[in-house]
Amino acid sequence: MPRSWPASLSILPVKSPLHGEIRPPGSKSLTNRALICAALARGESVLTGALESEDTAVMLDSLIKLGFTAQADFSREGQAANTIRINGQAGRIPLPLAELFIANSGTSVRFLTALAALGQGTYVLDGTSRMRERPIQDLLISLQGLGVSARSLANNGCPPVEIVARGLKGGTTSVKGDVSSQFLSALLMVAPYAASPLTIKVTGNLVSRPYIELTLAVMRAFGINVPIDDGRSFVIQPACYAPCHYEIEPDASAASYWFAAAAITGGELTVRGLHRDSLQGDVRFVEVLRQMGCAVEYLPGAIRVRGPQQLRGVDVDMNEISDTVQTLSVVALFANGPTRVRGVAHNRHKETDRIGNLAIELRKLGARVTEHDDGLTIDPPEVPTGAALETYNDHRMAMSFALAGLRTADVHILNPSCVEKTYPVFFEDLAQLSPGCVLL
């Protein structure tokens, strides 16, 4: 997977609307959740369609450092053939000591912190400089309530994290929901291995609720069903995951770039492997594009988007599809009228400040941007201007702003290698859909 990347990539405007079909790589969210459940199952599980990326690589590397036996095969043709085999240990963490490097993978650090709590030993999790700024204190407090010694070594509520584990007792704990749904997801996945029934209560507003539904769906695939009442309290009985053959959907967040490319260029693109009832909430991004004037068609095993002659601005709450805010913001550059994005205050705590830094780069392209506590308003320019765009080592910044270059001259993406985090072949796929668009 490693390759040599230039310091910047130039994106050239397309000469005609984009048309074609594409299947994005496997879902990062599903791959990392399935890896956790498979590691906790009794026996070997096989994951197909797995994502090959930095985020999944650090998860796999960490599981191996914890003593699990796992093997990835990404050598066969086609992303759907990517396979990971992992031998689960029925809730046991094989090694008593481990130091894990998580890079800047939020799912990995949060899921593995909870996983480590099941062990018998001491585990330290650390990452990049940005990871050391990302909050995890709410999860540590929840684990402390279950008898785990869990602390931020810098005493600032961020990694590096130290877990001194003697297993997870049952009872009741609470978790805040307004910073990241990943805290709740992490607790849910390890809860079946508590010593007695475990109740998890959610306090505050729960952001990105579809990701909790995604977590519960993966748990069901591995044989554990958690009842959903009001979504504010979850009761999990002691149980053991069953090994299985798990097929991973293409990444719906990654698919948003191709849906947006159709919208921006007035073309028609079909994304294979996703459908109306896909597990991932980000498939709902196409309904926002429908509000902007796009035609959306749900096909058997695919979704097709056709762009209009003129996009229109929208006012939309994106709390449940917050990973597509950057994608929508670039589409908004080409709309008639302003676009207001609401409900995503938690986006400031992701790979970068996905409100403040997004606004900086949109202004370089000529937009007038107003930041709000929970989002931003984008007034598009009459004609966007080219610019060298910072990515802040955020994969979604790179992929989203590449779309601006489809209709704007002199767009340059700095540090394009950051797409390795979730979509290493993004620029190759873009070049395949529009030959000559990307100066690789």
Catalytic residues: 323
Cα–Cα distances (Å) from 146 to 112, 114, 137, 142, 172, in that order, read 16, 11, 14, 7, 8
CA angle in degrees (0–180, nearest 5) for 172-174-180: 145
| Residue 11: partners with Cβ closer than 8 Å, 6 or more residues away | 402, 404, 405, 406, 411, 412, 413, 437, 438, 439
CA angle in degrees (0–180, nearest 5) for 104-413-159: 10
CA angle in degrees (0–180, nearest 5) for 55-303-261: 70
* C-alpha span between 84 and 71 (Å, rounded): 6
Assigned token pair, 59: 């998860």
* C-alpha span between 402 and 358 (Å, rounded): 13
What phi, psi does 339 have (nearest 5°)? -120, 130
Helix, strand and coil percent figures for the chain, each rounded to 5:
35, 25, 40
Which H or E element spans position 433? Answer: helix 426-433
Residue 395's nearest CA partner among 257, 280, 262, 265 is: 257
Cis peptide before 243 (omega within 30 of 0): no
Torsion of CA 250, 256, 262, 265, to 10 degrees: -140
